[in-house]
Structure 1
Amino acid sequence: MFTIGDFARLGRVSVRMLRHYDSIGLLRPASVDPHTGYRFYRADQLRRLNRVIALKELGLTLEQVRAIVDDAVDVAELRGMLRLRRSQLAEQLAADTARLTAVEARLRMIESEGRMTTQEVVLKEIVPVRVAELTAVAPSYQGEDIGPVIQPLYPELFRRLAGAGITPAGPSIAWYEPAPGDDGDAVVVHAGVTVGAGAEAASDVAVVDLPAVRTAATIIHHGPMDDVEQSMQVLARWIEDNGYRTDGFAREVYLDYCPDAPEKGVTELQLAVHRD
């Protein structure tokens, strides 16, 4: 058998941790010297220690760990738990990354305040356009909610268009509207691409006519859509300064779509406006 120090080194844990595990009944020593109180462990106890550490690293509490190891969890079950936890951590990482990206974008927006002028806004009429589209629902109009929803739609849309023999005839266009029957912030995300006037809907691709917009306040946004709030707020200032109103949902016309280099992207933002 091994002393607690030797066993700790073999298991790559601390002596203090082993003492704690003993105190809560998670990993008892194989024997305790009645005179000195020294703890001794057997080599086969490393199996239990390995399971305890693995489960603890998966984010379980020590009480949960004890319940599982006492029920003799096997390697296959541990592997399944690992896959589940890996998936959860990947989702958490993606969410945290999106949140950090949004914060960085807001910081850049704050830093650029006053540098973008409303002189860049152009008021114009938007002509009707026929588009092929796919749709999905996002929890809100916030960038961190829109991005993960709209990004997979475009590759799928182009795949379906190729299968249907429909050739894009112009830029991609995204637009948004409140989700029907939802009293919260959910929005319907429309991912579209311009097609010819003669294009018809296929079995798995909708083709719709986007109506004309008589009066739209527009601005050219350069760079990634993570920074689009900067341009949107320039539009907001112009709309207010000129006595217009808008619902806040912009069409996004991707004049130069660069998924592999979003910093090179060029997007026209179009906000329908009106006066009371």
Structure 2
Amino acid sequence: MLKIGDFSKLSRISIRMLRHYDGIGLLVPESVDEFTGYRYYTEAQLPLADRIRSLKAMGFSLSAVSEILKAYRDPRALREYLLIRREELKDQAEKTAIQLRILETTINRLGKDENVMEYSVVLKEIPQREVASLRGIIPSYEKEGILWERMMQEIAPQKVQYANPCYSIAVFHDKEHKEQDPDVEIQLSVQGNYRNTEHVVFKQVPAVQVASATFKGSYDQISVVNQAVANWVRDNRYDFDGAMFTIYHVSPAQTRNPDELVTEICFPVRKK
């Protein structure tokens, strides 16, 4: 039999946590002295303690650990728990990476002129064009690459010829900003006639008048660019008139360096 202090050292779990685990029935001592209340464990309980510690290190809650331990001898069930946790951690890592990038951008801007008018806003017409279009609901705006990958796979067999200039566009159809499941359409300018595929539609898009601002660098600037466009629309007596879209002049598909990205934000507008 092992005293709680010895078991704590061997299992690398603090006495405080061992008492807590006992209280919730997760790791119960082999025996408790009825007079002193001292807890005693056995060497045979060390593997269980190690499983608990490992699962906690993976970020599982204690309630989840309790459930997983019941299925620990079932490899399929255990694998399913671990795969689900892996996806959760990947999602957290992506969100953390975004937060870090925003922090870095904000730190770099400190002390610099943040006048939104540093972004030049122009009124222009995006001409009528033939496009390959794919529209879908995606988990988040950051997952737009799912649509581009699907489009490229489906149009590749037809050896599609791209127009010059070849506008690579993402249209955001929702009436509001969406925290999840946004409705996004991507368009690629093409020349020639092609068959629609399972998800891709070839169509003509009419010309549209837009208030446009182009910027270089990471997408963390978009909110400030949007402010510049909003101010221009107000000052020049225009109204917003349709779904906002972006033109990717240099996209993540062309560079992994966010400082090299070149993006044009376009808001369809009409004169008041």
The bucket for the TM-score relative to the shorter chain is 0.7 to 0.9
> Which whole-Å deviations, capped at 9, do the CAs of 1:110-142 have from their partners, x for residues lacking one?
965316346x22222321011112111257xxx
Pairwise CA distance, 1:107: 7.7
Residue number in structure 2 paired with 1:193:
188
Identity over aligned pairs, percent: 33
Query: Aligned match of 1:246 in 233, 240, 251?
Result: 240
- Note the C-alpha offset of 1:52: 3.1
**In structure 2, what is the Cα distance between the partners aligned to 1:272 and 1:72?**
56
Q: CA RMSD in A?
A: 3.3
Q: Counterpart in 2 of 1:60? A: 61
Q: CA deviation at 1:15?
A: 2.6
Give, in whole Å, the separation in 1 of the partners of 2:34 and 2:162.
83
Deviations 1:147-204 (A, max 9, x none): 22x222223322322222112221312223237xxx99575311111111x2323323
Q: Which runs of structure 2 are paired with 1:75-154 in the superposition (5 Å)?
A: 76=75, 77-99=77-99, 101=101, 112-114=113-115, 116-117=117-118, 120-138=120-138, 145-148=140-143, 150-154=144-148
Number of residue-to-residue matches in the alignment: 262
Aligned twin of 1:218? 212
TM-score of the aligned structures, taking structure 2 as reference length: 0.78
What CA distance in whole angstroms lies between the structure 1 residues aligned with 2:248 and 2:107?
24
Question: Which ranges of structure 1 fall in alignment gaps of 5 or more residues?
Answer: 140-144
Q: Secondary structure at the match of 1:201?
A: coil
User: Do 1:109 and 1:230's aligned partners in 2 also have CA atoms closer than 8 Å?
Assistant: no
TM-score, normalising length: structure 1:
0.77
Equivalent in the alignment of 2:261:
265
Q: 1:176 to 1:46 in 2, by over 3 A?
A: same
1:178 aligns with 2:207: no
Structure 1 pair 239–3 and aligned structure 2 pair: CA distance change class (3 A): same
Alignment partners' CA distance in 2, 1:45 and 1:138: 46
Q: Distance in 1 between matches of 2:196 and 2:67?
A: 55
Secondary structure in structure 2 of the residue aligned to 1:51:
helix
Residue segments in structure 2 that go unaligned for 5+ positions in a row? none
Output the CA distance in 1 between the equivalents of 2:190 and 2:21. 66
- The code of the aligned residue for 1:121 comes to V
